[in-house]
Structures are given as structure tokens and as C-alpha cells.
Amino acid sequence: MWGWRLFLEHGHVFIILTTAITLNRHKITNIETSRQAAEALRPLAGKFAATLFTLGIVGVGFLAIPTLAGSAAYAFAETLGWRQGLNKKLRQARWFYGLILVSTAAGVALDFIGINPVKALYWTAVINGLLAPFLLVAILIVAADKKLMQGQPSSRLGWIVVAITTIAMFAAALRCLLCRPEAQQAATRAVPEHCA
């Protein structure tokens, strides 16, 4: 399982790097629409850029929509003590399924109320990046507590790896917040220039 996950994570990193290098080389740094994103792939994918982009968006949608809506429903259900689970019938977990429906409808509504999806994705990633280190601190605290972990706390090596990751993420978040003013102004665009 770890080998497969490591393979996927390396794939993600190289997709990001390849895209960034290709776009930057062709001076494409301000993408605000799906059409511009598809056109940005032209140097890499040629005349099949639009097809490649469409297949990617549809594939990501099929993966992300149920995952995001479902995870929100599970989080709320767990917090509020609702009956939950996709194995339950609608009558057995109405609030759970209702929240999945509301989450999906809210995502669709974003498209109709004029919110730029590229900027929304960018700022969502920024917010996630800034909040993730705090979540990792909570995970470190819980993972080290023998009582909470029912006598099976995290291994020392695992704890150290997560601690190093947490420190690196705090450093990255701090660096992002302390960027030069011109780089912060660039962050208001869809794809900001990298803080040098």
C-alpha cells in the first residue's frame, strides 16, 4: 500500500513541476478561465490540449465531488452525532445524505454566481496550506498520547517524520506570508509569481 501511495505522490509532484515549468517558460502566469487553462496546455499537448484538459477536469470532478461532499457530511455527522454512512438508507441517515446534497448543490451554484473557479481553487489551496500545520500539531499531540491511542501511540520515527513535516509546513506558510509586496500583489491573480 505504501509503495502505491508513494508512487501517486511522486506523480502529483511531477505533474505540478512539469506544468509550472512549461507554463512559466511560455510566460503564461495569469490563468483565470477554463479556456485559458486549456490553451496553456497547448505547448505541452499540442492540438489535443482542449481534449486533454476536458478529460482531466471530468476525471477530477468524478473523484473530487463525491469525496469532498462525502467528507463534509461525515465530519458534520461525526461532530453532531448524526446517523451516518453510505451503507445506510436515506430514511436512516437523512441529515447525512441531506448534507451531501447541499454540498454538491453549493459546488454547482458557485459556477452560476460568477465566482472564478481558478481563483477559488487557488485560494482554497492557500487556506489549506496555512491551516494544515495546525492540524498536524493536533495529530502529533493525539498520536503521542497513550491513553487516547489506547496503548498504541505512534512510533518515534513516525512522530519525528510528522514533526519535521509540520516544521517545514510552518516555515513555508511563514515564508508565504512574508513575501515581498509585489509578490503579494501577484497573489491576487489566478496564478501568482513565485516568492523569490
Q: Do residues 121 and 181 both lie within one domain?
A: yes
The residue among 79, 114, 149 that closes a domain is 114
Q: Do residues 70 and 123 both lie within one domain?
A: no
pLDDT tens figures, 104-124: 888 888 878 888 777 787 788
Specify the pLDDT at position 112: 87
How many other C-beta atoms lie within 10 A of the C-beta of residue 159? 15
Specify the pLDDT at position 27: 75
What domain count does the chain have? 2
Write 191-195 long-range contacts (CB < 8 A, 24+).
191/23, 191/29, 191/30, 191/31, 191/118, 191/122, 192/122, 193/29
For residue 178, what are the domain limits? 116-196
Q: Do residues 69 and 85 both lie within one domain?
A: yes
Q: Indicate the pTM of the whole model.
A: 0.58
Q: Do residues 153 and 93 both lie within one domain?
A: no
The residue among 51, 80, 114 that closes a domain is 114
Residue 24 lies in a domain: no
The residue among 64, 92, 114 that closes a domain is 114
Q: Do residues 108 and 131 both lie within one domain?
A: no
Residue 17 lies in a domain: no
Q: Do residues 89 and 161 both lie within one domain?
A: no
